Copies of this chain bind each other. A is one copy, B any other.
Amino acid sequence: MSSDKILKQIAFIHEIDKLKYIQRKTRLFNSDRRENDAEHSWHLAVMALTLAEHANEPVDILKVIKMLLIHDVVEIDSGDIFLYDTVVNHDNTVLERQAAERIFGLLPAEQAEEFIAIWEEFETGDTPEAKFARSMDRLEPILQNASNQGGTWMEYDVEYATVIKRVSGIRHGSQPIWDFTKTLIDDSVEKGYLRKEEKN
Q: Which residues of A contact B (CB under 8 A)?
A: 1-3, 6-7, 9-10, 12-14, 16-17, 19-20, 28-29, 35-36, 38-39, 41-43, 45-47, 49-51, 54, 61-62, 65-66, 69-70, 107, 111, 143, 147, 176-177, 179-180, 183
Contact = CB atoms under 8 A, between A and B. Distances in A.
A53 to B, nearest CB: 8
Contact of A6 (B29, B43, B176): B176
Given A13-B43, A39-B39, A49-B69, 9 more contacts: A6-B180, A7-B180, A12-B50, A13-B143, A14-B29, A17-B43, A20-B35, A38-B43, A50-B107
Contacts of A2: 176, 179-180, 183
Nearest to A51: B9
